[in-house]
Chain A
Amino acid sequence: MIPSLRRIWGLVYRHVALYRRSWPRLLELAYWPVLNMCIWGFTANFLTGRLGNAAMLAGAAVMGGVLLWEVTVRGQMGMAISFLEEIWSRNLGHVFVSPLRPWELIAALIVMSILRMLAGVVPAVLLAWWLFAFNLFSLGPVLVLFFMNMIAMGWWVALGVVSLILRHGSGAEPLAWGVLFGLAPFSAVFYPVSVLPAVVQPIALALPAAHVFEGMRGILLDGVVSYGHLAAATGLNILWLGAASALFAHQFQQARIRGALLSIGE
């Protein structure tokens, strides 16, 4: 195996071994996505019963929004929490004195983010199908592009969080859980960008998620695939990923200068 891939696998194996032996961790991965799906699914069912077809379409848009938003949330948390696991186990010193390159660390965190996202979102997608007859795959092949854009947004947000943890230590840990909730109102998960006040709309349009959700609603409500929104989401993700990577590289080097890698988490 190529040495780089082997080092990435080494770190992934470390997390897989951890989850294999910890059912509370495994349960936690699916707990919130499934809970969210149930709450919104039953709400949509109730409204459909009272208000008819229009509510049914809105319900489908809401459930699609819940599931795709979970892709970002679980992807972001999967990456940031996998990094925090190294801090909590006081293992970071050993990892950083090994030949593991910083980009290999990021690659391993991305793999973990995908695995954790799948463990969380797949049960919720299946539950939506079984309980609420909502088939996310009815969005068609474009769903793959939606998924990729949503998880990519999770990665750059997580890279920002990891950078802040490198800068501010354990004081920045809560961001690993809460940061995306702050972006949710601007991400147009359940409503179109046009609903937002004009002054806030540029913020929403700078977020890839807003474009993905606009695209998703276009398919579910109007049957139209908006490639413009898809292209905007992809372009924005590339820009944000580049910026977050530069921030991470800078903070990692600063942590090496300040000696923070020795004391992080204390």
Chain B
Amino acid sequence: MDAIAVTNLTKRYDKVLAVDAISFSAPHGATIGLLGGNGAGKTTTIAMLLGLLVPTQGDIRILGHDMAKNRFAALARMNFSSPYIALPSRLTVEENLRVYGHLYNVERMDRRIAELADELDLGALLDRPAGQLSAGQKTRVALAKSLINNPDVLLLDEPTASLDPDTGDLVRTWLERYRVRSGCTILLASHNMAEVERMCSHVLMMKQGRIVDRGSPDELLTRYGRDDMEEVFLDIARDRKSTVPA
């Protein structure tokens, strides 16, 4: 059984078809990249996976739970991070982590917070209000929040946006280590193609609400005859012809 199984997923807003009958699955322990330009349908897809948005059509099963009928059972074992959703700025980092520790019913919360503070280098920030942190620090705190419940499925929307290259690399390393250690399945929406190449075992390329191509980064590079994923992304986004003869 796959950790994430999506079948014929569709979202329509009046006349706008935001997501058009996409299907994909993610095996346990895999990192799947969700790529596409602005408006391709990535955020809408993630919102449906999280239960924030009701699909017009289609099925989502996460960790065996039907998200239409039993989303709370899945949500307890999932988590999410996005730089576009904030944490309460007047609460300290530790208070924020405690709030989410309670919401996710985390046992031995003090120990879990200490672990995360150690692993994500947040020790010196725990007593500081979240609103006073730099963009990079906020991203690390958001990541700590997303890992507070040791999730089995992690949805990440541009997790390293606004991080400097050094911190970005540390976060990627840490995410990879967490995935290997826990067997967590990661769905990663990113515009950082180097990140996708490094972290993802499989990539879904979205455009205008559809999955227009898919495969491992190596397969896509070969198929498009390119040296890096950025060129593959541009080929798809701009409808450029593949350099590889059919």
Chain A residues with a Cβ under 8 A of chain B: 3, 6-7, 9-11, 13-14, 17-18, 21-22, 85, 89-91, 93-101, 253, 256-259, 261-262
Contacts and interface: CB of A to CB of B under 8 A. Distances in A.
B54 A257 contact: yes
Contacts of A94: 80, 85, 87, 100, 145
Contacts of B90: 18, 21-22, 89
B99 A14 contact: yes
Interface residues of B, number: 35
Given A6-B105, A13-B102, A97 B51 contact: yes
B103 A95 contact: yes
Interface string B62-91: 000000000010011011101001111111
B162 to A, nearest CB: 15
Given A89-B89, A89-B90, 13 more contacts: A10-B101, A10-B103, A13-B95, A13-B99, A18-B91, A89-B87, A89-B88, A93-B85, A94-B87, A99-B105, A257-B53, A257-B54, A259-B44
B52 A101 contact: no
Contacts of B44: 259
A259 B91 contact: no
B52 A10 contact: no
A97 B88 contact: no
B170 to A, nearest CB: 23
Given A10-B99, A101-B72, A259 B88 contact: no
A98 B75 contact: yes
B68 to A, nearest CB: 11
Interface string B28-55: 0000000000000001100100111110
B87 A99 contact: no
B91 A17 contact: yes
Nearest to B74: A99
A-B pairs with lowest CB-CB distance, top 6: A10-B102, A93-B85, A90-B86, A99-B76, A98-B103, A89-B88
A259 B13 contact: yes
A99 B76 CA distance: 5
Nearest to A3: B105
Contact of A99 (B13, B72, B145): B72
A266 to B, nearest CB: 11
B103 A11 contact: yes
Given A10-B100, A11-B99, A93-B85, A261 B53 contact: yes
16 contacts: A6-B102, A7-B105, A10-B99, A10-B103, A11-B102, A14-B99, A90-B86, A96-B51, A97-B50, A97-B51, A98-B104, A256-B52, A256-B53, A257-B54, A259-B44, A259-B52
